[in-house]
A and B are shown apart, each in its own frame.
Chain A
Amino acid sequence: MVEKKHIVTAFDEDLTTLNDMMARMGALAETQLFASTEALIARNPSDLDDIIKRDKELDDLEAVLNEKVIEIIALRAPRAVDLRRVIVALKVASTLERIGDLAKNIAKRNKVILDTTLKTQTLPSIRTMTSMVLKMLNQALDAYIDVDALTALNVMEADIEVDKLNTVVFQSLIEEMSYDPGQLKIGPHLLFVAKNIERIGDHITAIAEQIYFLHHGEMPDQDRPKADRSSSIALS
C-alpha cells in the first residue's frame, strides 16, 4: 500500500520517526537472537554477557516508542489507516521487546550450558531453527514498513516449519537425556532454549497478524498455524 502524503507534513515526519524506531528495535532483536545462538555454537561466553546487558537497550527503545505513539495520538488525532498503524506499532514494539527478553533468556541458559559439558546432536537443528526464525523476523519487519499483507501471510506459514522442527528437537533431547541420565542436569536448559526459539517464532506470527490487520482493517480469518506437538508428547 503506497500512501499519499499528509497535508500536515509534520504528521508524515512523525510516522517516519515511528518506522525508524521500529526498524532499530527490529534490528536489535535480530542481533540479540543471532548472537546468542552463535555464541553457544562457537562456545564464546563473553559475547553472552554482552547480549544480556544489551537487552536494556531494547527495553528503552520500547519506552521511547510508546511515548511517540502517545504523542501522535494526542496531537494528530489519527484516523483510519493512520490509527491502525499507530496501534499496531504499539503492539509490535511490545512483541519485539518480549522477543528480546526471550533472546536474553536464551543467552542466560547458554551461559550455563557452556559452563558444563553438554553432549548433544541437536545443535545443528537448533541453529536451523534460529536461522528460520531470523528470516521470519526479517521478512516481518520489512512487511511492516511496506504494509505488505501477502508477505505477512507467508511469515505466518513459515512458523509451521519452526514448530515441526521444535517437536523434533524436543523428541531428540528427551531421547538423549533418557539415554544418558547424567545429562539431566543440563539437558533441560537446551529444551528451554529450543522452546524459546519456537516461542519467538509464535511472537513473529503475532506481528504478522498485526501487519495483516494494518493493511486490511481486519484480523486474518485463520487461526495461528500451530504445528508444535511438543506439548502432547508423552514422556515415558
Chain B
Amino acid sequence: MKRDGDMMLSTPKIKSSGIIVEYDGKRALHGIDLDIYPNEVTALIGPSGCGKSTFLRCINRMNDVIDNCKVSGRLMIDDTDVYDPEIDVVELRARVGMVFQKPNPFPKSIYDNVAYGPRIHGLTENKDDMDRIVKKSLKRAGLWDEVSERLDDKALGLSGGQQQRLCIARAIAVNPDILLMDEPCSALDPIATSIIEELINELRERFTIVIVTHSMQQAARVSQKTGYFHLGNIIEYGETNDIFTRPQNEQTEAYISGRIG
C-alpha cells in the first residue's frame, strides 16, 4: 500500500517487485513491492518476526547462505535484477554494504579490518593507495580522530560504539552505492547510538541507506521514508513524517501509537 502523490520525482535506487521468501516451505515474505530512493534513509519498522530483516538481506543476497531459503520475485538495483543468475554475488556485495546488529569486526588490527575489502576486490595498487582508502573510510565513519595513532591495535580492543563505526568504515571502504543496516544500534548505549545516528545522516549524502530498526523513535529521527512491515507484508510505506503523525492504515496507527491489535 503506497501513498500516491507524495513520492519524490527521482527514480528509485532499489525497486522490489513481488519478493517472496520461503524458509523450508514456510513463507516469511508474501510479495513485497517497495521502492527505495537514492541518497535517502529508508527505515523498515515492525514487530519481531515481521520479515523486515529478511527483506533487507534479500537486497544483498545474504539469504543465499541460508539453506532451504527460496527467494522469488524481482529486485532491481538501478537497472539490474539482483537475482539474475548471471549476477556475481561477490561483486554485488561490494556494491551493497552491510552493517550488522552486533558489531563484528574481524579479530585483526583496525587497519586490516578496513583494508580487507579493498584488498580482496583489488581496489588498490600499492600501500599508499590503501592508506588513503583506510584513512578516508575511517574519517567518513567518524572514527579517524580516535584511532589514527593506533591503527595497528586490535580491533576488538575498541568500545562497542567504536567497533560499530569500524564496521561502518569497513563497509564503506569498498565504495558501495547502498548501505544496509540491520538494527545497528541495538547493542549500543544511548550516546554511541546518537553518534551513529548523526553519522547516518552525514552518510546519506553519498549512500542510499536502508535501516531496519526496532526503535520507532530511531526511525523517526533518522529516516526520510518509513515502511511498516507486519507478518511478512508491507502494510504502509511513505514519508516518515506522515507515517508518524497521520498514518493511513489502522494497523500502522495501532503499532505506531503502541496500541494492541
Q: Which A residues contact B (CB, under 8 angstroms)? A: 3-8, 11, 77-84, 216-218
> Given A4-B254, A77-B217, A80-B253, are A217 and B259 also a contact pair (CB < 8 Å)?
no
CB distance from B233 to the nearest CB of A (A): 20
**Contact between B261 and A11 (Cβ–Cβ < 8 Å)?**
no
Which of B244, B247, B259 is in CB contact (< 8 Å) with A3? B259
Does B245 lie within 8 Å of A6, measured CB to CB?
Answer: no
* Binary contact readout B55-96 vs A (1 if CB under 8 angstroms, 0 otherwise): 000000000000000000000000000000000000000000
Q: Is B244 a contact of A79 with CB atoms below 8 Å? A: yes
Does B246 count as interface, using CB distance less than 8 angstroms? Answer: yes
Complex A-B: 26 CB contacts under 8 Å: A4-B254, A4-B260, A5-B259, A6-B258, A6-B259, A6-B260, A7-B258, A7-B260, A11-B258, A77-B217, A78-B257, A79-B216, A79-B220, A79-B244, A79-B245, A79-B256, A79-B257, A80-B244, A80-B245, A80-B246, A80-B256, A81-B253, A81-B257, A84-B245, A216-B246, A218-B246
The interface residues of chain B lying within 8 Å CB-to-CB of A82 are 257
Rounded to whole Å, the gap between the CB of B223 and the closest CB of chain A is 14
Q: How many residues of B contact A (CB 8 A)?
A: 15
The total number of A-B Cβ pairs within 8 Å is 42
Select the residue from B217, B257, B260 with max chain A CB neighbours within 10 A. B257
Which one of B217, B257, B260, B261 contacts A80 once the chains associate, using CB atoms below 8 Å? Answer: B257
Give complex CA distance A212, B253 in Å: 18
Contact B257 A5 (CB under 8 A): no
**In the complex, chain B residues 229-257 whose Cβ is within 8 Å of any chain A Cβ:** 244-247, 253-254, 256-257
How many angstroms between the C-alpha atoms of A83 and B260 in the bound complex?
17
In the complex, A109→B254 CA distance in Å? 50
Given contacts A4-B254, A79-B244, A80-B256, 4 further A-B contacts (CB under 8 A): A7-B258, A11-B258, A84-B246, A218-B246
- Do B245 and A4 touch (CB < 8 A)? no
Measured CB to CB, the closest approach of chain B to A132, in angstroms, equals 33
Tell me whether B257 and A6 are in contact (CB under 8 A): yes
Residues of chain B within 8 A (CB-CB) of A80 are 244-247, 253, 256-257
> Which residues of the other chain, B, contact A216 by a CB distance below 8 angstroms?
246
Complex partner residue of B245 from A3, A77, A83, CB under 8 angstroms: A83
Please give the distance in Å from B222's CB to the nearest CB on chain A. Answer: 15
- Residues 206-234 of B at the A interface (beta carbon under 8 Å): 216-217, 220
Complex contacts, B258 vs chain A, CB 8 Å = 6-8, 11
**Chain A nearest CB, measured from B235 CB (Å):** 14
Cβ–Cβ < 8 Å partners of A218 in chain B = 246
B261 touches A217 (CB 8 A): no
B256 and A5: CB pair below 8 A?
no
Beyond A77-B217, A79-B216, A81-B253, whether A217 also contacts B260 by CB under 8 A is no
Q: Which residue of B lies closest to A12 (CB)?
A: B259
Nearest chain A CB to B216 CB, angstrom units: 7
Query: By CB atoms of chain B within 10 A, which of A11, A79, A84 has the most?
Result: A79
**Closest beta carbon of chain B to A13's beta carbon, Å:** 14
Q: Which residue of A lies closest to B254 (CB)?
A: A4
Which chain A residues border B244 with CB–CB below 8 Å? 79-80, 83
Q: Identify the closest chain B residue to A85 (Cβ).
A: B257
Contacts of B220 in A (CB 8 A): 79
Task: Give the Cβ gap from A193 to chain B, nearest Cβ, in Å.
Answer: 41
Q: Closest chain A residue to B250 by CB distance?
A: A4
Give chain A nearest CB distance to B213 CB in angstroms. Answer: 15
**A7 touches which one: B216, B245, B247, B259 (CB < 8 A)?**
B259
A7: chain B residues within 8 A (beta carbon): 258-260
Cβ–Cβ < 8 Å partners of B257 in chain A? 6, 78-82
